[in-house]
Amino acid sequence: MERLVASFFNLDILQQAWPILLEGFWMTVKLTLVVVPLGVAGGLAVALASTVRSRLVRWTVVVYVDFFRAFPPLVLLMFIAFGLPFLKIDLGAFGAVALAFLLNTSSYYGEIFRAGIESVPRGQYEAARSTGLSALQTMGWVVVPQATRNVIPDLISNTLEVVKLTSLASVVALPELLFAARQAQSLTYNATPIIAAGIIYLVCLWPLVRLLSRFEHRQIALH
């Protein structure tokens, strides 16, 4: 027990590691604030593109979505972070992470929005068009708002996954929370920073998990 406390919950170590962890935490927040809006916007674009008439566009969207759904995000991240510099394109660690996650998460958000748009009855579209709204206005003012409301649980669920995904950035040495924790671990030879990082993730994300599990029970119960 004593050993457990000394190895995992060592307050002296925590005090030493705290500034590093805090910096890592803010980097994670920053990354989330960049990646989530980008992913949502990208996803919306993907979903809207899948409603257009042109078959070519629709097929391109399907290929895009399936491609990135099949691709593990870490593989994509390494490919971008290590491969692009060979073409003299250097995005830096932050840029590489942002690009990789934009590609990955926009395909997931895209699938969610697409399902949402399909859940809006055709009559809504027809009613809006009959009042003279253009196709784009109909989408923007009538269809997308309802679609979004119908898929809120899925959007939250995916956002939770995106926040967890940011931990992968540690692999390309972006100093976010997990990277900071590992760095602190190697400086202090003690696992407390890693446990502390875990607790920080838990404290921040647990409310989302609770919220989701309430949504999910209701959602399946409605079938």
Q: For binding to another protein (CB under 8 A), which residues are involved? A: 3-4, 7-8, 66-67, 69-76, 78-79, 82-83, 86-87, 160-161, 164-168, 170-171, 178, 182, 185, 190-191, 194-195, 197-198, 201-202, 205-206, 208-210, 212-213, 216-217, 219-221, 223
Neighbours of 62 (CB within 10 A): 12
In this complex, which beta carbon is closest to another protein, that of residue 129 or of residue 198? 198
Q: Helix or strand or coil: residue 149? A: helix
How would you classify residue 142: left for phi > 0, otherwise alpha for psi between -120 and 50, otherwise beta? alpha
Nearer to another protein, 16 or 135 (CB): 16
How far is residue 192's CA from residue 12's CA, in Å, rounded to a whole number? 10
CB 165 within 8 A of CB 97: no
Is 69 or 140 the residue whose CB approaches another protein more closely?
Answer: 69
DSSP helix/strand/coil, 18: helix
Question: Which lies closer to another protein via its Cβ, residue 22 or residue 202?
Answer: 202
Query: Are 144 and 124 a contacting pair, CB within 8 Å?
Result: no
CB of 83 to another protein, least distance (A): 4
